[in-house]
Amino acid sequence: MSSDSLPSQVSTAIIGGGIVGNSLAYHLARMGRDDIAIVDKGPLPDPGGSTGHASNFLMPVEHSKEMTNLTQRSIEQYKDMDTFTNSGGIEVARTDERVEELKRRVQSAKAWGEPAELLTPEEVEDLVPYVNTDLIKAGFYSTGAGTCDPLRAGEVMRARADEYTDGGLHVSPNTEVLDLHVENGSIQAVETDRGTVTADEVVIAAGLWSPKIAEMAGVDIPLTPAVHQMVSVGPISFFEDYEGEISFPVVRDMDTQMYERQHGNDLEVGSYQHRPILWDVEDIPSIDEAPLSPTQPPLTEDAFEQSMADALEIVPELLDDPEAGIRHEIDGLLSQTPDGAPLLGPLQDVDGLWSCAAVWIKEAPAIGEAVAQWMTRGWSDIDLHGADVNRFYEYGNSRSFVKDRASEGFQKIYDIVHPAEQYQSARELRTSPFYEKQADLDAEFFEAAGWERPQWYESNSDLLDRYEDELAEFQRPNEWDSRWWSPIILAEHLHTREHVSMIGDMGFSIFDFRGSDVVDYLERMAVGRVDVEVGKTVYTPILAENGGFVSDLTIARLGPEHYRVVTGGAAGGSDRAWFGDHIPDDADVTMIDRSESLCTLGVWGPNARDVVDSVTEEDMSHDAFEPYTAQKITVGEVDAWAMRLSYIGEQGWEIYAPMGQGRRLWDVLWEAGQDHNVRPAGMGVYGTTGRLEKGYRLFGHELELEYNPAEAGLTFHGVKDADFIGKEAYAEAIDEENTATLCTLSVDDHAPEGGERRFMLGNEPVLDENGDVLVDDEGRRSYVTSAGTGPSVGKHLLMAYLPQSHAEEGKRLQVEYMGQQYPVTVEVVGSRPLFDPENDRIRS
Amino acid sequence: MDTVACIKRVPDTGAKLTLTDDEQHIDTSHLGFTISPHEECAIEEAIQVADDHDGTATVLSLGPADADEQLRTGLAMTADEATLLETDGAEWRPRETAAALADALSGDADDPDFDLCLFGNESADVANHQVGIRVAEQLDIPFVAGVTDLTIADGKAVAERDVTGGTEVYELDLPAAVGVKEGMNEPRYASMRAKMQARKQSIERQDPVAGEFDGAIEKVKLEAPESTDGAAEVLGEGTDAVPAVIDLLRDDLEVV
């Protein structure tokens, strides 16, 4: 390894020599990059960032599949480098609510394939004799958990990278980055205080300094340094009899948002309970100026007071050891993002510039690997969409937004977070022109990608009486099941299927493409054939080379050289980056983001035509405006554009209008709708109830990189002649028999043991008759990808990929929810809609 | 036997010092504050002596309201009481400091209300080496500086200090004062429970007596020390490094 040297040219420059930068270098080298530089302003092996002060334990089980998989994979890597100690870890519950949460943890552990079990307080005591079991009601035991040595791992990774590159790894510590050179939208070079290195690709892996580095290239990495308080107490005589760094499971005292873990003869006590303490990156001292390290400022004493009381309560024997004192105490700085997930991937405004930031020790080796895969071949084995750095693009990069959300998110780190829980801060950021009207109708707003979207309308509560009989068996008596939910959603659904509703704005991302090469370009992007007649729409998967899903969206042809792509709001940032990155340099293709200039209103239901036709200049009859086509229309005074399609399987249109005229569009349609029993309906109908009855797949739930279109049941396009990204894998997937197939299931009994009827919410493991989780031949486990009630079919519906052996209609299986198993039946194998299977309604 | 440890809030050392623009102060925006290492030993000794002789250990400081933090550290080490002579944050010179401390220590009737007063040999920031002996002078009690060992017996204190080629031993009548050097004992880390209790303990606040003195030293400006090039040098790996390590220890550092 050429250490301490800065070459003038490399193919890949990595800024940051913490665990993330080292992991990236190693995996890039393994994948064939032979010319890599690591630059860090600090010394090695500990350059002074969070890698140097983390508590270094890895608890693999989370409710996110991807984060769990990343930690599992990281543990494998730490083991391989001989830097992992398998101590196990126990989350203890002090409250009944937490006991339920621990059951949900076991459920997630089963779903994601990690051994775990619930423990009684006595069993906790057997494993960790110093825990005050009088305080606890249960424990969640993650046997695979443990601790690692990230500094040593970094050394091993650098050494391995050096071997793979045959000396092509250049490590330059004590080197401060002064500027990033960007020309014509592409990264050119990294300027440092020890010279400038030109590079084809630059990765910002600088932890909490990443925003500062990104700013040098004029782009945003939205994170903020946040304090995590930690103290170390010792020497504790109890530990003197045990050899090694750790002999007892790490204890997470979840209800106090703290952990206690042995470290030699010390006990490390960490807290996420204190008030959020956020730093500005500019205020972090330099290495020279910092007494301990830049990321270890002195403990804010008053904020730690309650934490000390709680720690003394849960492990009194250790902390009251007369010999033991607080030997080390810090406000450890870590990176906090607006939603808690990492910030990974290509920064879309600068070609060749990547982000690999806000990564924890527990997932760093696997994230280094996944990002290296992304960089070298275009996709990663573990889907990183939820961590795409572009997800806050054009709405959530401001310092104010980042701080508000980071403050709120900090408090959720050990909290019990409902899957539908909404952020309360930085709200009403993106509002459609319908917002005031919807607020007047008592809309309950949920947020997606900053957009305020009605989930349901309290003004529709009268519908609960009208549909009382249909809804009776779908009321949710359990508080958890009904949190962030209302039976009004089901009533709105029934009303929509019987009459007509207005749904919008959906917060779509909308991109227009123009140019003489636009047909060739879009053909290459999409599975479906896009060289269709002007006025046609194409719903199509967008794939990576491996045949996994990058997105699914609708492409409409507006003119010979003009297309419009409509995709989900949450996927907008990453889709925009994907489409933008794939425009060839020499192609005549222009991409225009219309997301903030067009609003969208859906008018759907059997009465939709009556409503719309009464106020449009155009003939809206079935023959004049066929299904799956698009036209310009004038609604009242508003010049708009409409597609005749519906995500809930009803007659009707998605109508697009300039934001400035959106309010008028709403008023005109609302007034016209009064004669046709129109109601407003929320995203609950659009995103869940209507969608599930129709078997429509949702990106990020059913559609992801680990499953291909054949498995998802989306091969209706066949294999077109034109080349497109993922074609080979796609054609192969169609030819081969599926390993798993996406199915729709229904719950047979919501209270098999009597008592309260429970309703699954998603992510539950699917089990066979013996209670074993279904696993397909590729090792992928079956779990519920989406869950929701289908009021028109009278069933609570679940989607799940099932191994071929179990993908059989009528097959009886089980789903585990909150520690209880529920019988379910496979209703549909593949994408056939459960409701209106012939799609007569859309075609009506 | 009652003891008092006099302590001072000083910027945490161990980092590169930056100065304020007027060169009058250390820029403490990135620094934590601490107690001088000598004074930590003074607190430890004060606590041990008080414990061994059924007395009360008090920590006393002259400084800004924030010096509260250092006094609580003393309480968390299990000192019994704490007193802050609260200033407005301006710098007090040694004579003024000593006068104010002596006044606070002198008790009601010129009879000091302590048996043993411990100072750090010098403060970690300005290191004037003056305050302890000035206080002793004003209270008219014996004082020994540079003390590395202290025993109390038969109503007397025996203080030792290292000098070139040997040790000096002093016997002091009580009440007495000593200037303590780091290494005299191993200051304890505060336990978590003691630290928590210390946060709840009350600290007595007094207005320091401000004396008028002529001809005292004036601070012109501060200069930050030249930063030494502290880059580490790798001497070798594994057993290959042994000869280089021996050379260094024997020839360069002359410690073996």
CA–centroid distance for A567 within its chain:
16
**Rounded Cα distance, A500 and A486, in Å:** 20
Structure tokens at B209: 């007596």
**Rounded Cα distance, B128 and A196, in Å:** 48
The domain spanning residue B94 has which CATH number? 3.40.50.620
Q: What is the pLDDT of residue A684?
A: 97
CB < 8 Å to B234, chain A:
none
Q: What is the pLDDT of residue B219?
A: 81
Rounded to the nearest 5 degrees, what angle is found at the Cα of A24, between the Cα atoms of A18 and A29? 130
Tell whether A122 is covered by a domain.
no
pLDDT band at A472 (very low <50, low <70, confident <90, very high): very high
Sequence-ordered strand ranges (E) for A86-209: 89-93, 117-119, 138-142, 146-148, 169-172, 177-183, 186-192, 195-204
Tell whether A175 is covered by a domain.
yes
pLDDT tens, A382-416? 999 999 999 998 899 999 999 999 999 999 999 99
Cβ atoms of residues A353 and A346 within 8 Å: yes
Identify residue A781 by its one-letter amino acid code.
Answer: R
Sequence-ordered strand ranges (E) for B8-49: 9-11, 33-35
Q: What is the pLDDT of residue B28?
A: 80
- In angstroms and rounded to an integer, the radius of gyration of the C-alpha atoms of chain A is 28
Closest-CA distance of chain B to residue A194, Å = 16
Instruction: Give kind and range of the element (H or E) at residue A818.
Output: none
List residues of A whose CB lies inside 8 A of any B CB: 43, 174, 231, 233, 269, 283, 285-286, 288-292, 297-298, 301-302, 305, 308-309, 311-312, 319-322, 324-327
Number of compact structural domains in chain B: 1
pLDDT of B109 above 60: no
The phi, psi pair for B110, rounded to 5°, reads 55, 15
The phi, psi pair for A767, rounded to 5°, reads -120, 155
Closest-CA distance of chain B to residue A367, Å = 31
Tell whether A343 is covered by a domain.
yes
* Chain position carrying tokens 């106020």: A615
The phi, psi pair for A804, rounded to 5°, reads -50, -40
B192 at interface of A, judged by CB pairs closer than 8 A: yes
CB-nearest to B196 from A269, A305, A327 is A305
pLDDT of A286 above 90: no
Burial A743-764 (b: 16+ CB within 10 A, else e): bbbbbeebeeeeeebbbbbbbb
The stretches of A455-592 forming alpha helices (DSSP H) are 463-466, 468-471, 479-482, 488-498, 518-525, 572-581
Q: Could you tell me how many helices (H) and strands (E) chain B has, helices first?
A: 6, 11
> Residue A346 has what DSSP assignment?
E
Closest-CA distance of chain B to residue A521, Å = 53
Helix, strand, or coil (residue A207): helix
Q: Report which of residues A716 and A512 the model is more confident about.
A: A512
Interacting residues of A150 by C-beta distance below 8 A, sequence separation 6+: A18, A19, A51, A54, A56, A83, A361, A364
Query: Model pTM?
Result: 0.93
pLDDT of A51 above 90: yes
Q: How do strand B81-86 and strand A812-817 relate by DSSP bridges? A: unpaired
CA A726 vs CA A4, A200, A572: distances in Å:
42, 25, 21
B24 at interface of A, judged by CB pairs closer than 8 A: no
As a whole number, mean pLDDT of residues A174-188 equals 96
Tell whether A187 is covered by a domain.
yes
pLDDT tens, B170-225? 999 999 999 999 999 999 999 999 999 999 999 999 999 887 777 667 788 888 87
* Helix, strand, coil percentages, rounded to 5, for chain A: 30, 30, 40
pLDDT band at B229 (very low <50, low <70, confident <90, very high): low
ipTM attached to this prediction: 0.84
pLDDT of A92 above 90: yes
Identify residue A171 by its one-letter amino acid code.
Answer: V
CB < 8 Å to A321, chain B:
191
Tell whether B18 is covered by a domain.
yes
CB < 8 Å to A309, chain B:
196
Q: What is the pLDDT of residue A719?
A: 96
Instruction: Give kind and range of the element (H or E) at residue B159.
Output: strand B156-163
CA A214 vs CA A193, A209, A340, A355, A407: distances in Å:
17, 9, 19, 8, 22
Tell whether B225 is covered by a domain.
no
pLDDT tens, A610-650? 999 999 999 999 999 999 999 999 999 999 999 999 999 99
As a whole number, mean pLDDT of residues A179-185 equals 96
- Domain limits at A26? 1-55+149-221+339-412
**Rounded Cα distance, A504 and A438, in Å:** 9
Cβ atoms of residues A185 and A349 within 8 Å: yes
pLDDT band at B234 (very low <50, low <70, confident <90, very high): confident
Q: What is the pLDDT of residue B256?
A: 78
**Rounded Cα distance, B48 and A628, in Å:** 87
As a whole number, mean pLDDT of residues A179-187 equals 96
Q: A179 forms bridges with which residues in the sheet?
A: A191
Most A CBs within 10 Å, among B192, B193, B195, to test the A interface: B192
Tell whether B115 is covered by a domain.
yes
**Rounded Cα distance, A491 and A476, in Å:** 14
CB-nearest to A291 from B15, B191, B192 is B15
pLDDT of B241 above 90: no
pLDDT tens, A569-597? 888 889 999 999 999 999 999 999 999 99
Cβ atoms of residues A98 and A285 within 8 Å: no
Return the closest-CA partner of residue A288 out of A43, A8, A104, A489. Answer: A43
As a whole number, mean pLDDT of residues A739-761 equals 97
Q: What is the pLDDT of residue B252?
A: 84
Tell whether A380 is covered by a domain.
yes
pLDDT of B228 above 80: no
- Domain limits at B59? 3-206
> Residue A214 has what DSSP assignment?
H
The domain spanning residue A21 has which CATH number? 3.50.50.60
Q: A654 forms bridges with which residues in the sheet?
A: A602, A643
Tell whether B110 is covered by a domain.
yes
DSSP for A570-633, please give it: TTHHHHHHHHHHTS-TTS--EEEE-TTTEEEEEEESTTHHHHHHTTBSS--STTTS-TTBEEEE
Structure tokens at B224: 């930050």
Average pLDDT value over all residues in chain A: 96
Most B CBs within 10 Å, among A283, A301, A306, A310, to test the B interface: A301
pLDDT of A201 above 80: yes
pLDDT tens, A660-705? 999 999 999 999 999 999 999 999 999 999 999 999 999 999 998 8
Q: What percent of chain B has pLDDT over 90?
A: 61
Return the residue of B nearest to A311 by Cα: B192
Return the closest-CA partner of residue A239 out of A277, A274, A268. Answer: A268
Q: What percent of chain A has pLDDT over 90?
A: 95
As a whole number, mean pLDDT of residues A433-456 equals 97
Q: What is the pLDDT of residue A764?
A: 98
Tell whether A217 is covered by a domain.
yes
Q: What is the pLDDT of residue B214?
A: 72
Tell whether B152 is covered by a domain.
yes
B197 at interface of A, judged by CB pairs closer than 8 A: no
CB < 8 Å to B13, chain A:
291
Q: What is the pLDDT of residue A1?
A: 60
As a whole number, mean pLDDT of residues A4-21 equals 93
Q: What is the pLDDT of residue A650?
A: 97
CB < 8 Å to A290, chain B:
15, 30
Q: How do strand A2-3 and strand A500-504 relate by DSSP bridges? A: unpaired
Tell whether A95 is covered by a domain.
no
pLDDT tens, A323-348? 999 999 999 999 999 999 999 999 98
As a whole number, mean pLDDT of residues A813-834 equals 97
HSE (side-chain half, CA atoms, 13 Å) at B129: 4
Tell whether A13 is covered by a domain.
yes
Beta carbons of A301 and B69 less than 8 Å apart: yes
pLDDT of B107 above 80: no
pLDDT tens, A509-532? 999 999 999 999 999 999 999 999
Q: What is the pLDDT of residue B218?
A: 78
Q: Is the dihedral of CA A395, A400, A404, A409 positive or negative?
A: positive
Closest-CA distance of chain B to residue A553, Å = 50
Number of compact structural domains in chain A: 1
The phi, psi pair for A180, rounded to 5°, reads -115, 130
As a whole number, mean pLDDT of residues A263-270 equals 96
**Rounded Cα distance, A713 and A744, in Å:** 11
Which long-range contacts (C-beta less than 8 Å, at least 24 apart) are formed by A805-812?
Answer: A806/A768, A806/A774, A806/A782, A807/A738, A807/A740, A807/A741, A807/A743, A812/A748, A812/A769
Cβ atoms of residues A364 and A157 within 8 Å: no
The phi, psi pair for B195, rounded to 5°, reads -65, -40
